[in-house]
Structure 1
Amino acid sequence: MKYFDYTRTSHRSAFDSNVVYQFEIMEYVLDYGFERLGANSLQVDHPILMTECVCNPISSRSKMAELLFETYGVPSIAFGIDAAFSYKFNQQHGICTEDGLAVCAGVTTSHVIPFVKGEPFLEACCRTNIGGYHVTDYLKQLLSLKYPYHMSSITWEKAEELKMEHCYVALDYASELQIFQKGKKEAEEKTRSWQLPWVPPPQEEAPSEEELARKAAVKEKQGQRLRDMAAAKRSIRISELENELHGLKDLLQQVDQVEETEISSILSKTGYDSRQEIESAIQKITQSLRKAKGEPNETEERIDASLAEKYPLTNVPDDMLTPEQLKEKRKQTFLKTTSEGRLRAKQKRFEEESMREKQNQQEEEKRLENPELYLEKLHARYRELMEKVEQRKRLKTNGARTNGNQNLSGGVGRGERLNAAQKERMRLLTTAAFDRGKGEDTFGSRDEDWQLYKLMSKDNDDEDNGQEEDEAELARVTARLQDIDPTFVAKSDMVPLQGTPELPRFRPLTAEDFQIVIGVERFRCPEILFQPNMVGVDQAGLDEMVGVALRRLSTVDDAVKDRICNSILVTGGSSLFPGLVPRLEAGIMQIRPYLSPLKVVRASDPILDAWRGASTYAASSQFATQTFSMQDYYEKGEAWLRQYHIQYTL
């Protein structure tokens, strides 16, 4: 349309339902039509037959006449109903009779028009604002909700195409729904699939034996390289410690050889303040050197021997000592006991560190041998420990909130959460209370009572120790995973989102992910022609509209009504749905009396029969008597247009 300015006008229709209300847009449409027909759009010297809907508003008819008269200079105009032209065209071909009913299921509206003696009985007409547009829109909405990730592919044009190819009207909507709900084989046969464009990812070929051997050799080479680097680093560390230890021993020997007055001047250059600090540093470096070499630590016998030399009075009997020496012995005994405790604690820490380092070294060797298998086992160990810890926590907190005898938490009671040792203590306590409850309370007067008290107060459970060990092991495994797996996130670090579902794990996309399956939508969308309330339109369906139109024929005899029901013509684009005619016939049969005549037929061409009937009408010799000119329009005005009706039986 060369005259259409797309920069000033948005893409919108000239119609509101089936009534023209945007005459600026309608002018562009008429320009395009006259140009394609070869007519001069400035002066159309030819009568015009304009189709319209039933009971078209007078304002719309008046503005259309004004547009045709003043803009195009049309000599005369006639207005007629499109469904009536379709009915008259099919009547000429013997499909329907003079007395009948036209059911027009259009784009945005549906009409029912009774015909008596070949003319439409407009007082009994009925209309519903539901048509093929709403069926397409409903199908597009359902598919967009069902496949939101393919919403861009479900365009309006594609939804219209799917509607015309696959939709049908169910004879019994409830029974058809049950077929799909039960998942019968018939439902699979009625289901259609639309395959979207999809390119399969390239298939990775399985590595050959040579490739696997090459990768294994590279992995082994990398592992050996890491082991060599660790060994070289350990040897460098050992040499550094030996050099430092040799230097400290030389310094200690030098201190022993000089006078007391010269010791401070020598130590001032080394950073040590006394001989004891040098000895302590030698001891630490010796332990570090043993640790680096993997040698065992000093035994307790050597520790005891050194302490015996340092505190000689502790091994001397008291009767051989003077009072001053006894005081000194008590002092040395206290210092020796304290030193032994510190040394043993230090030795224990050192052993734990050595064991931990040895364990880490062994695990590192396992990791280097097979990193994937090691990481998988570590994750399995983490899940096992986490499940144990969480299970203990649930057992502790389970049943904490109670209301009478009802456990609000839904878990086990306290009796089911006690282990064997705790149950035994509860049994002893209950037995003791029962034995003492009948008479005077004499509990504690016998030695057996205190023995029972010891049994009840002693905690022989290993559960707490096991829990501490599991938590320590869980912390170690967690730290290990955080070191070697950058993608690992501990459960304690996760912040749970309330109401957020767990995201599905990633998997490669297949052709089924790009399929749009149309099952129940095939008959659910056209069902709105019979049940408009499914899309929020509180109006009558096609079968109910026929009943309303027949009830409005109050002035017509029953014999005429029988003839009308024996010639019901279905026209309009929406009548092309398979199954619409049997469904409409079944619906009307429920309204009509028992064994009354009924015949429902489809038009020969539901879409173009209205145009063919109008062209045949306009080509007749009596068509000029049905038009009105510009002079009639200006003389009689809109009041005359209100009473204007053409005669269809020419």
Structure 2
Amino acid sequence: MPFETRPLRQSDYNYFPSTCPIVIDNGGSAFRIGWAGESDPRITFRNVVQRPRHKATGETVTIVGDHDPALMKYFDCTRSFQRSAFDGNVVYQFEIMEYILDYGFERMGADGPEVDGHTNTEPVTKIEYDSWHMKFEAEQVDHPVLITECACNPVQSRAKLAELLFETYGVPSVAFGVDAAFSYVYNQQLGICDRDGIAICSGFSTSHAFPMVSGEPVFEACCRTNIGGYHVTDYLKQLLSLKYPNHVSSITWEKVEELKMEHCYVALDYFSEAKVFQKGAKEAEEKMRCWQLPWVPPPSEEPPSEEELARKAAIKEKQGQRLREMAAAKRSSRILELENEFQGLEFLLQQLENVQESDIASFLSRTGYVSRQEIESALARVTQSLRKARGEQTDIEEKMEPSTSEKYPLIDLPDNILSPEQLKEKKRQLFLKTTSEGRQRAKQKKFEEELERERQNQQDEEKRSLLEIYQASKILNLEMCAWNLSKPVNNKFVIHTSFIVGRTLSFIYNSYVQNIKKFSEKVEQRKRLKTNGSHTNGNNNISGAVGRGERLNAAQRERMRLLTTAAFDRGKGEDTFGAREEDWQLYKLMSKDNDDDDEGPDENEVELNRITCRLQEIDPTFVAKSDAGSVLATEIPRLRPLTKEDFQIILGVERFRCPEVLFQPNMINIDQAGLDEMAGISIRRLPSKGDRLERSINNSIFLTGGSCLFPGIVERVEAGIRKIRPFELPIRVVRASDPILDAWRGAAAVAAAPCFQMQTFSRQDFYEKGEDWLRSSSQRWGFGFQGMRGRCIIAEASHMCYGASPFVNLKEMLVPRMRFNHASPHSFTS
């Protein structure tokens, strides 16, 4: 239920005489307390307790009843949760029950005119919190107490609660009564139900059904089912949380309880109602309800004005001007560098003309150039770059490979005129020349092999096409022969011919698809082996590790090892690299041109590409697996903006699906009987039966309890009972005038009767006779209503005042779901 403000403390407690009883309806969902003879309870709050810690002081605070979620910022509730004193509908946590009774008596004004400096009507401050528990400090509650309990309540629970009232609060006398019986008798005086009938009470966690004979409850025939309003709310919360996982934080227990009370209903025929929603007809749309969550629409983007466009254009032009200035400054600096280099190269050529032929080698060794041709080539490149930088037209020359003499100028020179450094350089150039020539020969050989393979593939493709045509024609001839035997008429021949052609194309297409799957697996396996080198992980379907070294092939890993070794040994001692012929082999191993990446494509990969192209010719919509993966990998998912509909929770089948657990508990894995079946079981358990009694009982089936507020529950219970009762037996199902408050009102009327004081269990009796007297007393008590005509007998003392009969076993009350016998539509076994 939603948060309700803290009930005001009553100020007229001292105005009531000590003989006026206090009436308590101790329900599993709500606690109601008030004075006997009044029409409504004074105080109502949730029957729960929570003990969080105050964030500022660290003190543990007891919160009874509802609490304001807005004030939870003052408390740490991570280690505390709401606790109830009930196990099902039986009180067993008497420490929590004491907190609840303290708060109830304090709100009634039983502890004096003021509490901690506050007057009776003055609300507590914000820091003290809206529902703090204030310790009850009165010496005693000098009023008799009538408190409700469930049907067939265990004597141990009743005795402990009586002991708590006598020892802690000092009440003079106590009486106990069944809430459903109080509600039945109260509505009987209103003329809603008869003296003989069945009371069906569907509470918060359990449901009970017992007969009422001559105004007295017969608890020997009582039955109980562990299903109630709690299970309906919990089921609805689970369904909504699964249906809308993005809004789980908004689907709180209090909000779901509110949705249940406002929108849920009981279907007369569950399966017929479900079919209406399955078909999606207009009737189903009318029965749907929409819960709109808080949503703030995103700000709408307005088109920019002319002033804004002009301002952006001015900023863009200013930025472009700045970039152009930077580019011009950079170009000027580049031109200056090229001019200086051009002048230096021209000056070097002029000096080289004055040097003798024998001194050219020594002169060039100081300049960094090897020959005159190299200097002239550098001068030509600088000239072209300078013209290009100035924006002048450059000479269009064919890009030709440098000659061998220009690329390796020391190879043709004799060794006797070269210095030791030049001899080392000559060896390196000779090795590079040999390697380059070998690489060129290998490339030429691969190119010739490619041409030969292409010619061979073309021939194979022609043969394969002829084979496909032959197979297709063979299938076509067989189909045509079979069709000629059947003597086609009119246009059936054309239709069947197109069918045959379609089958032929389908055969060819399927063969291509099978081949492409086979070659795709081979190509993927080769790629994995190439990536992982000689390392395998034992599973071809799983790629190698994701580390940097694991992604390199064997040649690349070897080159990385050599580079790392060379970098580690640099600067250690004298550099003797090149003294041996084996040292020059490292150039080949460390060269990137030695990788296997330039190898030609694998035969399987070539065949896969050919089949893919062929399939794309047959089916233009075909996309290869690798292409589809790359497309999906490059596409960035685009998230659409959230709209108002994304923050809506629709209640459709949940409106009648959740209350259906009251009639079919097996929907939530509880194998027990529903409300309609409980009535039949209770009638069968009557000690004495007769046609007149059964007819009068079936004519007054009374529904009470908070779970009986659903629309349509009266008609559904009547339809369910009519199925299991004899044919043409009159059945009348009625609902309490107020299923929630009638139990307290009936108890308040009973407590206001003149004979109530003689029928209570006093504190002196408790001290003298003990709690065992609660079990042995069995006298009949009668109660009359003030202001009402007639006199009503409620029950025996062991039933009304002290709960369960000593002859009733609590385990027999748990009713399993009835199993119908297929031999007869009206026969069943429980």
What range describes the TM-score normalised by the shorter chain of this pair?
A: 0.5 to 0.7
Measure, in 1, the Cα distance between the counterparts of 2:686 and 2:672.
Answer: 20
Following superposition of structure 1 onto structure 2, how do residues 10-89 of structure 1 map, counting pairs within 5 Å? 11-39=82-110, 41-89=138-186
Deviation at residue 64 of structure 1 after TM alignment: 1.2
Deviations 1:18-55 (A, max 9, x none): 11111122222222223333435422233222211011
Could you tell me how far apart the structure 2 residues matched to 1:635 and 1:409 are?
A: 97
Alignment of 1:152-191 (within 5 A): 152-191=249-288
Query: Could you report, residue by residue, the CA deviation over 1:234-254 in whole angstroms, capped at 9, with x for unpaired residues?
Result: 454345334423321331132
Determine the C-alpha separation between the residues in 1 that align with 2:146 and 2:719.
37
CA RMSD of aligned residues (A): 4.1
* Partner Cα separation in structure 1 for residue 311 and residue 51 of structure 2: 70
Query: Hey, what's the Cα distance between the residues in 1 that align with 2:400 and 2:748?
Result: 124
Tell me which of 287, 291, 296 is aligned to 1:194: 291
C-alpha separation between the residues in 2 aligned to 1:118 and 1:407? Answer: 88
Deviation string, structure 1 residues 136-195 (Cα, Å, up to 9, x no partner): 222222222222332222222111111111111111111222222222222221111222
* Cα deviation, residue 83, structure 1: 0.2
> CA offsets per residue over residues 496-545 of structure 1, 9 Å max, x none?
9xxxxx99632222222222222222111111111112222221111111
Partner of 2:692: 559
Of residues 350, 359, 363, the one that matches 1:253 is: 350
Q: Which amino acid in 2 is paired with 1:564?
A: I
Paired letter, 1:12: R
Cα distance between partner residues in 1 of 2:287 and 2:189? 38
Query: Using the alignment, how far apart are the partners of 1:407 and 1:300 within structure 2?
Result: 50
Name the structure 2 match of 1:429.
none
Higher relative contact order (CA 8 A, sep 6+): 1
Cα-to-partner distance string for 1:456-493 (whole Å, 9 max, x where unaligned): xxxx99x78x99xxxxxxxxxxxxxxxxxxxxxx9769
Look up the SS of the partner of 1:152 in the other structure. helix
Question: In the TM superposition, what whole-angstrom CA distance separates every residue of 1:403-448 from its partner, at most 9, and x where no partner exists?
Answer: xx99999972449999xxxxxxxxxxxxxxxxxxxxxxxxxxxxxx
Asked if 1:278 is matched to 2:375, the reply is yes
Query: Which of the residues 490, 509, 513 maps onto 1:412?
Result: 513
* Aligned: 1:612 with 2:709: no
| Alignment CA distance shift 1:155-1:99 (3 Å) | same
The AA in structure 2 aligned to 1:19 is: V
- Which residue identity lines up with residue 35 of structure 1 in the other structure? E
Change (3 A) 1:296 1:562: farther
Deviation of 1:107 after TM superposition, in Å, equals 1.1
Q: 1:532 to 1:302 in 2, by over 3 A?
A: closer
Q: Which consecutive unaligned segments of at least 5 residues does structure 1 have?
A: 311-337, 346-404, 419-459, 468-489, 497-501
Shift of 1:592: 1.0
Shift of 1:585: 0.9
Distance in 2 (CA, whole Å) between partners of 1:410 and 1:556 is 81
Q: Is the 8 Å Cα contact of residues 221 and 687 (structure 2) preserved in structure 1?
A: no
Is 1:298 matched up with 2:431?
Answer: no
Whole-angstrom distance in 1 between the partners of 2:692 and 2:668 = 38
State the distance in 2 between where 1:114 and 1:503 align.
69
SS in 1 for 2:250: coil
- Distance between the aligned counterparts of 1:214 and 1:92, measured in 2? 85
Q: Residue in 2 aligned with 1:448?
A: none
**Does structure 1 retain, via aligned residues, the 8 Å contact 2:196–2:213?**
yes
Question: What SS class does the counterpart of residue 508 from structure 1 fall into?
Answer: coil
Q: Whose helix proportion is higher, 1 or 2?
A: 1
Q: 2:198 aligns with which of 101, 106, 115?
A: 101
Q: Distance in 2 between matches of 1:52 and 1:35?
A: 22
**Alignment: residue pair count:** 489
8 Å CA contact 1:407–1:413 kept in 2: the answer is no
Which of 643, 647, 658 aligns to 1:510? It is: 643
> Residue 50 of structure 2 contacts residue 83 of structure 2 at CA under 8 Å; is this kept in 1?
no
Taking a change above 3 Å as real, the CA distance of residues 222 and 606 of structure 1, as seen in their structure-2 partners, is: same
Equivalent residue of 2:249, what SS?
coil
Q: 1:575 to 1:300 in 2, by over 3 A?
A: closer
Q: What secondary structure does 2:367 align onto?
A: coil
2:384–2:394 contact (8 Å) kept in structure 1:
no
Q: 2:776, 2:659 → 1: CA distance?
A: 37
Q: Which amino acid aligns with 1:577?
A: F
Select 1:597's aligned residue among 702, 717, 730: 730
Q: % of aligned pairs identical? A: 65
Q: Please tell me the residue identity of whatever aligns with 1:148.
A: P
Q: How does 1:491-640 map to 2 (within 5 A)?
A: 505-553=638-686, 555-640=688-773
Aligned amino acid, residue 372 of structure 2: R
**Separation (CA, whole Å) in 1 of partners of 2:516 and 2:143:** 101
Q: Indicate how the Cα distance of structure 1 residues 28 and 409 shifts in structure 2: closer, same or farther if over 3 A, else same.
A: farther
Q: What's the offset of the Cα at 1:291?
A: 6.2
1:290·1:296 contact (CA, 8 Å) conserved in 2? no
Matches within 5 A, 1:54-453: 54-216=151-313, 218-219=315-316, 222-223=319-320, 226=323, 229-230=326-327, 233-234=330-331, 236-264=333-361, 266-286=363-383, 288-289=385-386, 295-299=394-398, 412-414=513-515
Instruction: Identify if the C-alpha distance between structure 1 residues 226 and 609 changes in structure 2 by more than 3 Å, giving closer, same or farther.
Output: same
Q: Deviations over 1:76-125 (max 9, x none)?
A: 22211110010001111111111101111111111111111111111111
* C-alpha contact (below 8 Å) 1:131/1:574 kept by paired residues: yes
Q: Is the 8 A contact 1:86 1:609 kept in 2?
A: yes
Distance in 2, Cα, partners of 1:532 & 1:239: 93
